[in-house]
Structure 1
Amino acid sequence: MDRAGATGPGQRSRERGLGDGPGREVALVPSLRSRALSAALIASGRRRRFASAEAVRDRVAHTTRRPESHLPPRALGRVAEVSRTFVGAWPVYDAQPRGAEPAARVLYVHGGIYINELVRQHWSLVRTLVTEARAHCVVPAYVLAPRGTADRTVPVAADLLSGLIAGGGDVGTVLIGDSAGAGLALAAAQRLRDRTGAAPSRIVLISPWLDVSMSHPDQAAIEAADPMLGRPGLAEAGRLYAGTLDVDDPRVSPLHGSFAGLPPISVFTGTRDVLTTDSRELLRRARADGVEVDYHEEPGLPHVYPLLPVPEGRAARDRIVEIVRRAGAE
């Protein structure tokens, strides 16, 4: 779908490929499985984790006492050559296809509102990229907030991206991030552009969190239907990540940075995601700066739906695989 405005359930909109041909009209109704998943998320009380600033502070205190693992699942080692190095305090995982030369390079930056580690869904996407796109994936387990703040984190991510681009040889580099990881990824791309002019072949942002202030006027109405996220907790996590910086500093909230000079951007979001306002604003601002945007907004779908086990998630992952394959060949 390629549009600047929202589309409600039951409406129709234009879906297009990767910028190469006319679109086709398709019905936009959430699948039964996706509706069931959203209902299950509501029933599980998932949103309580983000219902208040106190809930987020409790979560940070808990993981400080008992850090969670960011290790890849053992099953990934059956389909990929997996290794780990350290960049400063960051463990950085490297996953390459077994028995084949990589067709693309990917820097994947995970979400988790800057306070949560890599989880199974993140590693599942890495597995898909390695096996279906033959991508060499670099996956940093960056230092989480409040220890890891934007002023420290963005430069390291930009250095990782720079090194991946420089070492890419004949294959292209794709920068991918979901949720908070998409915000960090975009901020890193902006910093690298400003510093050296270098850029990846393409950027893919999944349910991006690009303005941690949570101040968009449309968010209140969307939040009522969001089965996963709540604004008060997100705003607190954003404050922790900002550290001494202002929340509207582009290093913290890259929506406030310039998009000029960035490569084409693909965006995946859903209308039951309180953060979809960030995606809509990105579409408007990036196009105003002359950047191509391949935009996908799915009615009735929740936050990070491309990582979820629903038909629309599978279709989005197929699209991302195709983006990576094409970018790798550019």
Structure 2
Amino acid sequence: MRSRALSAALMAAGRRKRFGSAEAVQARVARSARRPASHLPPRSLGKVAEVSRTFVGAWPVYDVSPRGTEPAAQVLYIHGGGYINELVRPHWSLIRTLVTRAQARCVVPAYILAPRGTADRTVPVATDLLSGLIASGGAGGTVLLGDSAGAGLALAAAQRLRDRTGAQPSRIVLISPWLDLTVSHPDQAAIEPADPMLARPGLVEAGRLYAGTLAADDPLVSPLHGSFAGLAPLTVFTGTRDVLTTDSRELLRRAVADGTDVDFHEAPGLPHGYPLLPVPEGREARDRIVDLIRTAADH
């Protein structure tokens, strides 16, 4: 009941208007250009974790580690937001959970947003970050985690690293992944009216900005169109009230066909990004992610 009430509240509040039209996305990007949003972590995070920041090229990259103890594992976390929005409080809340409960070191890039940050520029930097973490800490203790657009960027980086060196993290965890920026699956029209957060017209425009000069179905932009062979085991969370759940279902079909293991969780009646939300199913998903990271630390 609480989960259904939250979905209804999101619908009533008009959260989907951020992606309701191409014009809404363009207005959002214009506002961000005039007054960039902050990606700084909340001050309260510093009470339970060691927080530092470095730069990888033009990217600010936050390093968040358990206070007073050695990390048991490391996580590269790539945030969502349609490639046009910065890190926000629910992202930082998830990071806090991973640091305090899984005793994980979290490396969190505040990547350059579209339209300045396009796939041809963004995926190589994310790939370098992933490669560096695996090299420094060992693949067995490294988990790649992303939500929404960040999950798409994470998967594209894993595919590129596989093609470059064959290296992979111990596991890839994708939360409500946006993997096909063409937003063209025939089942999406039936799902969209029940989605309280996302709408196809705005997603298509955000995808166009991120694609830059590449085609929307280029695997660098839309990793659903890339190969899943040779990737690390995948864990995927999606909800049936998410217009992008078709991407997760297609991932399951294609990854299994390519011989890649998939731990798949589809939650009935839940919206986009539900593992980040304060609902019982969200807590269960976070518990699962914590367990996966602990397992990675044991290998």
- Tell me the TM-score normalised to structure 2 length: 0.99
C-alpha displacement of 1:74: 0.6
Helix, strand or coil: the match of 2:219?
coil
Specify the alignment match of 2:249 in structure 1.
Answer: 280
Q: 2:291 matched to 1:319? A: no
Distance (Å, rounded) in 2 between the aligned partners of 1:271 and 1:116: 24
Specify the alignment match of 1:214 in structure 2.
Answer: 183
C-alpha displacement of 1:297: 0.1
Q: 2:158 matched to 1:189? A: yes
Q: Is the CA contact 2:176–2:244 (under 8 Å) kept in the aligned structure 1?
A: yes
Shift of the 287–83 alpha-carbon distance from structure 1 to 2, 3 Å rule, reads same
Q: Is the CA contact 1:103–1:171 (under 8 Å) kept in the aligned structure 2?
A: no
Q: 1:289-310: CA deviations, max 9, x gaps?
A: 0000000000000000000000
Specify the alignment match of 1:62 in structure 2.
Answer: 31
State the number of aligned residues.
299
Helix, strand or coil: the match of 1:143?
coil
Residue from 55, 71, 82 that aligns with 1:113 = 82
Distance (Å, rounded) in 1 between the aligned partners of 2:36 and 2:45: 22
Shift of the 233–177 alpha-carbon distance from structure 1 to 2, 3 Å rule, reads same
Q: Is the CA contact 1:258–1:289 (under 8 Å) kept in the aligned structure 2?
A: yes
Specify the alignment match of 1:92 in structure 2.
Answer: 61
Q: 1:196-226: CA deviations, max 9, x gaps?
A: 1110000000000000110000000000100
Structure 1 runs of 4+ aligned residues shifted over 3 Å read none
Q: 2:236 matched to 1:267? A: yes
Distance (Å, rounded) in 2 between the aligned partners of 1:76 and 1:210: 30
C-alpha displacement of 1:54: 0.6
C-alpha displacement of 1:169: 4.7
Helix, strand or coil: the match of 2:137?
coil
C-alpha displacement of 1:268: 0.2
RMSD: 0.8
Distance (Å, rounded) in 2 between the aligned partners of 1:188 and 1:36: 36
Specify the alignment match of 2:135 in structure 1.
Answer: 166
Structure 2: any 5+ residue segments left out of the alignment? none
| Match runs of 1:43-62 below 5 Å | 43-62=12-31
Amino acid at match of 1:317: R
Q: Is the CA contact 1:84–1:93 (under 8 Å) kept in the aligned structure 2?
A: yes
Higher share of residues assigned helix = 2
Q: 2:5 matched to 1:36? A: yes
Helix, strand or coil: the match of 1:122?
helix
Distance (Å, rounded) in 2 between the aligned partners of 1:96 and 1:177: 18
Amino acid at match of 1:45: G
Amino acid at match of 2:10: L
Distance (Å, rounded) in 2 between the aligned partners of 1:171 and 1:188: 18
Shift of the 225–255 alpha-carbon distance from structure 1 to 2, 3 Å rule, reads same
Helix, strand or coil: the match of 1:64?
helix
Q: 1:225-255: CA deviations, max 9, x gaps?
A: 0000000000000000000000000010000
Residue from 120, 131, 142 that aligns with 1:151 = 120
Distance (Å, rounded) in 2 between the aligned partners of 1:85 and 1:95: 11
Q: Is the CA contact 1:105–1:171 (under 8 Å) kept in the aligned structure 2?
A: no
Helix, strand or coil: the match of 1:296?
strand
Specify the alignment match of 1:254 in structure 2.
Answer: 223
Distance (Å, rounded) in 2 between the aligned partners of 1:323 and 1:235: 33
Amino acid at match of 1:81: E
Q: 1:14-52: CA deviations, max 9, x gaps?
A: xxxxxxxxxxxxxxxxxx111111111011011111111
- Tell me the TM-score normalised to structure 1 length: 0.90
| Match runs of 1:301-320 below 5 Å | 301-320=270-289
C-alpha displacement of 1:100: 1.0
Q: Is the CA contact 2:139–2:170 (under 8 Å) kept in the aligned structure 1?
A: no
The share of aligned pairs that are identical, in percent, is: 81
Distance (Å, rounded) in 2 between the aligned partners of 1:46 and 1:265: 29
Distance (Å, rounded) in 2 between the aligned partners of 1:272 and 1:250: 26
